[in-house]
Amino acid sequence: MDPIEQVTDRVNNLLRQMTLEEKIGQLTQLGQYIPDTVPIDDRVRRGQVGSILWLSDPAEINRLQHMAVEQSRLHIPLLFGLDVIHGFRTIFPIPLALAASWDPELVEKVQAVAAREASACGINWTFAPMVDIARDARWGRIIEGAGEDPFLGAAIARAQVRGFQGAEMGSPGHVLACAKHFAGYGAADGGRDYDSAYLPEGLLRNVYLPPFHAALEAGVGTFMSAYMDLNDVPATGNRFLLEQVLRREWNFRGFVVSDAAAVGDLATHGFARDPQDAAFRALTAGVNMDMASRTYLEHLAASVQNGSLPVAVIDEAVRPILATKIQMGLFEHPYIDESQIQRILDTPEHRQLARIAAQRSAVLLRNEGQLLPLKMQSVKSLAVIGPLADSQQDLLSSWAMQGNPTDVVTIVQGLHNKVGSNVQIEYAQGVEISRQYPSMFDALMGRSQPVPWTDAQSQAEFGRAVELAGRSDLVVLVVGELANMSGELASQSSLDLPGRQVELVKAVAATSRPIVLVLVNGRPLNLSQVVEHVPAILEVWHPGVEGGNAVADLLWGDMTPGGKLTVSWPRSAGQCPIYYAHNLTHQPDTSPMFTSRYWDMASSPLYPFGFGLSYTTFAYSNVCLDRAEARRGETLNVSVDVENTGERPGDEVVQVYSHQRAGSASRPVQELKGFCRIALAPGEKKTVQFALGPGELSFWSPTESKWVQEAETFDVWVGGDSMATLHMMFKIV
C-alpha cells in the first residue's frame, strides 16, 4: 500500500468504530478559557474533543494527551492549537515587519524556530500564517500580515508554511500550519475589525486569494474560515469560498477550522436561525472543526437525528482531521519530553536570529544630510527620549503571550550595550500614551491599565525630556504606538501619533539638536506633522526580544538598513484604503490635468510601496528583456545589473513591476511581479534575473469570469521601489 492508501485505510478503520458522539468530538475544538459545564477531563475521556485551543502549559498538555490516548475508547490523540504568530518564547518582529525584510528565507527560518519552541512545549498546531491582504492602516490586524500586495504576500505565505511545517507534515520539531482568515478579512469596511467586506470576484481572486493559494501550494494542512461577512455571506458559512474555491477548484485535502466562536456566531450575524441551523450551515459549507463555540458538539447530532444531515457528511468532515493526526505522527508520538524544554527555548541561536530578523525588517524612511549612521567621534552625549524608548512590553506585540517581557532588550538598553562608556546616554520618557479602553489581550492576560500621570507629573516629565535634549549632542526619539494599540479588535479611526507625541517631537526639535526618530508600531502612522522636524526616521516596528540591540546595530552602522515598506504609507487616515496597484482611471496620475484626487492634500502616499533607504547607494544599469515578444504560455526574462556605488556594504531589494496596457478589464497601473534582496559590497555589481511567465502575466478577468492571459502590450519597470523608472515594453502575441 502506498502511504496515502495507508492513511485512508487507518482513517476508515477508525471511522468504522466511531459513534456519532465520537465523530462530532473530532470536529470539536474546546477553548481553554471558555466556560463549560462539563469538566474537560470528562469530555476528553468520552472522546468529545478533537482539539484544544490556547492551552500552553506543557504539563497540562501532556496530562490531557495521556488521558486522550490512554483513557478514551479509540485512543485518538488531541491536537493542541495556539496562535504562534511571530515566535513562541523567543519573540521575533511582527509579521508586517518580517515581510518588510523581503527575505522569504529569513521568514522561513524564523517560523521554523517558532515551531521548534512551540512543539517542544506540546503545541502541534499554530493558527498562522495570517495571509490577509491589508490596504487600510486603520485595521488593527494589518500588523499580522505581509501588507498590501498579493505577489509578495504569496511569497511570504509560502515561506511561513515551510517554516512551520518543515519539509513534510509530521517533520519533527515542526507544527501544523493554518492559513487564515479565509477570506477577505483585511477588506473590512472602514478598517473596522470584523466589519463586512465587499469584494467583487475579480478583486477577490486577483488580490485577496493568491496568498492563500500559495499557502496551499506550499502544503498548508489547515485553513481558518474568517469571522466577517463576505459579500453578505459569513465566511464561516460561505459555500462559495469553502466548497467552490477551496475544495473544488483548489483541491484542498486538509481541513478547515472556524475562527473562534464563529460557528455559533452565524446566528449572531442574522444568517442562521439558531445554533442548530448554525452548526448545520457551517458544516455543510465546509467547516470541519468548530473552534471554541461547542455548537457542533451540542447541536449537530440533532440534525442527524431528524434526518436533515446524513452521517456520511459528518464522516467526510472527520476524515481529513484523522488523516492529519495520522500524517503528523501523533498516534506514534503523542507526548512531549518536558525535561527537554529548557534546552530548546530562548537559546542564544534563537536570540541571534531574532536580532538579525529585527535588523533586516527595519526600514530607513528618511536620512537628510546622512545623519545616520551615527558617528562616535561627533556624538558624546545621547538623549534617548520617548514613551517607547525603554519599554519591554511594547517591543513585543499583542500575539506574544508566551514571550516574556523581561527577555526584551529595550532600545535604551541596546544603545548602552553598544556604546558602553564611550557615549553618555540619558533617558527621559517625556510623555505617556495609553488606549482609551483596555485591549482584549490585556484583559486576557490580566494586565491592568497604568495609572495615568498627574498634570504636574506630565509637565515635569515633558520639561525634563526637552531639557535633556537641549544639552545632548543628538536625540534618539522613540515614538509610535503601544503593543496593545494594534492587532485584533484594535482598529483606529485616526493614524495620528497617540497622546502628546507630536508636541514632544516639535518641542525637542525646537532645541535644534539633530534628531533620529525611531518608530515602534504595528501600522503606518500619520507623520505629516513631524516629518519636516526630523532629519532621520528609522521604522523598526514591534521588533521583538532583540529589538534594542538591533536598533543600536542599525543606528551605529554595524548593519545597514535594507528593509522596504510592504504597505503604501498614507499621509493621513483620510487616504485609506491606499495601495500602489490602483487602476489608471480616466484621469491618470500622469495626466497634465492631474494634481491630486483630493483638493486638500496630495493623493499620493507619503512613502510608496517598496520604499526604503540605505546608508549606501545603488545604481541600476543594463536592464534588458531577452525578447520583445512572446507567445501566450511562454516566459520572458528580465535582467538588470545592480551596483553598490557607495562606501558601505548594503542590501538592495530589486523589484520588477508590470502593467498590461489594454484587455478585457482595466489593469492596475503596476503590479509587483518579481523581487530579490541582494547583498552588495562597496563597488560590487550583480546581475539579477526575473522570469515573467503565464503565472505573472495572467489575471482573473471579470468579463470572462476566468483566468486569462491576453495578447496585449505590457510595460515593465525595474528598480528599488514602486516608483521605479527603468522601463521597457514587450508584447504577448
* Residues near ligand NOJ, by CB under 6 A: 83, 127, 180, 259-260, 488
E strands, 591-635, where?
A: 618-625, 629-630
Cα–Cα dist 589/609, whole Å: 16
Residue 124 to residue 652: CA distance in whole angstroms: 37
CB of 483 to ligand NOJ, least distance (A): 16
For residue 607, what are the CA distances in angstroms to 153, 288, 533, 569, 613?
19, 43, 17, 5, 11
DSSP 3-state of 31: strand
- The residue at minimum Cβ distance from ligand NOJ is 127
Give the shortest CB-663-to-ligand NOJ separation in angstroms: 37
HSE at residue 240, side-chain half, CA atoms within 13 A, is 14
Buried b (16+ CB within 10 A) or exposed e, 622-636: ebebeeeebeeeeeb
Which set of grid coordinates corresponds to residue 623? 536592464
Pick the closer one to ligand NOJ by CB: 141 or 355.
141
Question: Grid cell 516608483 — which residue?
Answer: 723
Cα atoms in the 13 Å half-sphere on the side-chain side of 566: 36
Residue closer to ligand NOJ, measured from CB, 83 or 229:
83
| Coil, strand or helix at 163 | helix
Q: What is the DSSP string of 351-363?
A: HHHHHHHHHHH-E
311-327 and 275-285 are packed helices; what angle lies between their axes, rounded to 10 degrees? 60
Measured from the CB atom, the residue of 291 and 372 that comes closer to ligand NOJ is: 291
Q: Which is nearer to ligand NOJ, 223 or 609 (CB)?
A: 223
**Nearest-angstrom CA–CA distance, 444 and 72:** 31
Helix 411-419 × helix 547-555 angle, to 10°: 50
Q: Is-catalytic flag, 259?
A: yes
Q: Compare residues 127 and 569 and give the one whose CB is closer to ligand NOJ.
A: 127
Catalytic residue among 149, 259, 265, 277: 259
d(CA 423, CA 368): 23
Nearer to ligand NOJ, 180 or 205 (CB): 180
Q: Please name the amino acid found at residue 329.
A: G
Q: How many CA atoms lie within 13 A of 19 on its CB side?
A: 10
Task: Return the residue matching grid coordinates 477550522.
Answer: 257
β-sheet bridge partners, residue 538: 364, 518
Q: Decide: helix, strand or coil at residue 160.
A: helix
Whether the CB-CB separation of 611 and 367 falls below 8 Å is answered with no
Q: Which is nearer to ligand NOJ, 121 or 530 (CB)?
A: 121
- Least distance in Å: CB of 488 to ligand NOJ? 6
* Residue whose CB is less far from ligand NOJ, 127 or 208: 127
**Of the candidates 26, 73, 74, 17, which has an alpha carbon nearest to the alpha carbon of residue 319?**
26
Shortest reach from residue 321's CB to ligand NOJ, in Å: 17
What is the closest distance, in whole angstroms, from the C-beta atom of residue 123 to ligand NOJ in the complex? 12
CB 638, CB 623: distance < 8 Å: yes
How far is residue 492's CA from residue 140's CA, in Å, rounded to a whole number?
7
Shortest separation between residue 259's beta carbon and ligand NOJ, angstroms: 5
Q: CB 393 → ligand NOJ: shortest distance, Å? A: 20
Buried b (16+ CB within 10 A) or exposed e, 237-274: bbebbbeebbeeeeebebbbbbbbbbbbbbbebebbee
Among 212, 119, 218, which Cα is nearest to 162's? Answer: 218
Q: What are phi and psi of 222, to 5 degrees?
A: -140, 160
Least distance (Å) from ligand NOJ to the CB of residue 442? 15
Separation of alpha carbons 670 and 53, rounded Å? 42
The CB-of-444 to ligand NOJ minimum distance in angstroms stands at 10
Residue 29: enclosing H or E segment and its boundaries? Answer: strand 28-31
C-alpha–C-alpha distance, residues 518 and 531, integer Å:
12
CB within 8 A of 344, min separation 6: which ones? 116, 117, 120
- Rounded to a whole number of angstroms, the minimum distance from the CB of residue 367 to ligand NOJ is 36
Q: Give, rounded to a whole angstrom, the gap between the first and last alpha carbons of the chain.
A: 48
Closest separation in Å from C-beta 402 to ligand NOJ: 13
Compute the chain's Rg from CA coordinates: 26
478's enclosing H/E stretch is strand 474-480
109/180 with CB nearer ligand NOJ: 180
d(CA 436, CA 452): 11
Is the Cβ of residue 235 or residue 518 nearer to ligand NOJ in the bound state?
235
Q: Are strands 233-234 and 229-230 parallel, antiparallel or unpaired?
A: antiparallel
- By C-beta, is 127 or 611 nearer to ligand NOJ? 127
Nearer Cβ to ligand NOJ, position 346 or 488?
Answer: 488
Judged by beta carbon, residue 291 or residue 550, the one nearer ligand NOJ is 291
CA nearest neighbour of 50 among 36, 22, 29, 65: 29
Residue 92 CB, nearest approach to ligand NOJ (Å): 18
CB of 143 to ligand NOJ, least distance (A): 12
As annotated, the active-site residues are 259
